[in-house]
């Protein structure tokens, strides 16, 4: 890449000094190739030098958990008493640990106190896992509803 950048730099200098308009147009193309290559090389060098800092920063982005972790969470939710159905199980990174979101369906006839206790004990069970930082449990009496918190419905029409 360095040799390509040097060649493009030489071509840029040569084409820039030409009197021909077509060749001068190539000078702009060669110039932008040089800029792109220099930025790419600088980024590669910086990434190599500062990888120790970049690597942990990437884990803060909120990547989804692996299928194995999601299976483990789903199994624990399925085995929890009174859970009729699982609507959603999500887990995403928060530092080196996971934030977990679970939407479950409980029997419609449960009183609020019982439903709250079930949700709270499930939350505590999930948060006891060493890889979980925080768990959020959403309770519902049915799962056949429209998606909640739709971002698309709030976007302006363009």
Residues 6+ apart with CB under 8 A from 97: 131, 132, 133
Query: Do residue 122 and residue 84 come from a single domain?
Result: yes
Number of domains in the chain: 2
Burial class (CB in 10 A: 0-12, 13-18, 19+), 34: buried
Query: Do residue 73 and residue 133 come from a single domain?
Result: yes
Q: What is the pTM of this model?
A: 0.58
Residue 58, domain member (yes or no): no
pLDDT of residue 157: 59
> In this model, does residue 106 exceed pLDDT 60?
yes
Q: Which helix (H) or strand (E) holds 101?
A: strand 97-105
Burial class (CB in 10 A: 0-12, 13-18, 19+), 98: buried
Tell me the pLDDT of the chain averaged across its residues: 86
Which residues span the domain enclosing 77?
Answer: 67-140
Helix (H, G, I), strand (E, B) or coil at 50: coil
CATH code of the domain in which 135 resides: 3.30.70.1350
Query: Do residue 88 and residue 133 come from a single domain?
Result: yes
Q: What percent of the chain has pLDDT over 90?
A: 49
Over the stretch 35-80, which tens digit does the pLDDT of each residue have?
A: 999 999 988 888 788 776 666 666 666 788 999 999 999 999 999 9
Residue 55, domain member (yes or no): no
């Amino acid at each position: 890449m360095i040799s390509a950048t040097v060649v493009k730099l030489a071509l840029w200098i040569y084409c820039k000094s030409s009197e021909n308009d077509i060749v001068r147009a190539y000078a702009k193309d060669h110039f932008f190739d040089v800029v792109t290559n220099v930025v790419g090389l600088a980024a590669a060098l910086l990434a190599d030098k500062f990888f120790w800092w970049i690597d942990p920063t990437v884990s803060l982005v909120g990547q989804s958990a692996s299928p194995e972790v999601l299976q483990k969470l789903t199994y624990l939710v399925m085995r929890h008493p009174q859970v009729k159905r699982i609507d959603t199980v999500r887990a995403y990174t928060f530092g080196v640990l996971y934030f977990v979101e679970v939407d479950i369906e409980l029997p419609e006839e449960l009183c609020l106190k019982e439903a709250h206790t079930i949700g709270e004990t499930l939350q505590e069970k999930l948060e006891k896992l060493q890889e979980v930082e925080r768990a959020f449990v959403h309770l519902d009496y049915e799962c056949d509803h429209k998606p909640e918190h739709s971002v698309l419905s709030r976007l302006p029409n363009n």
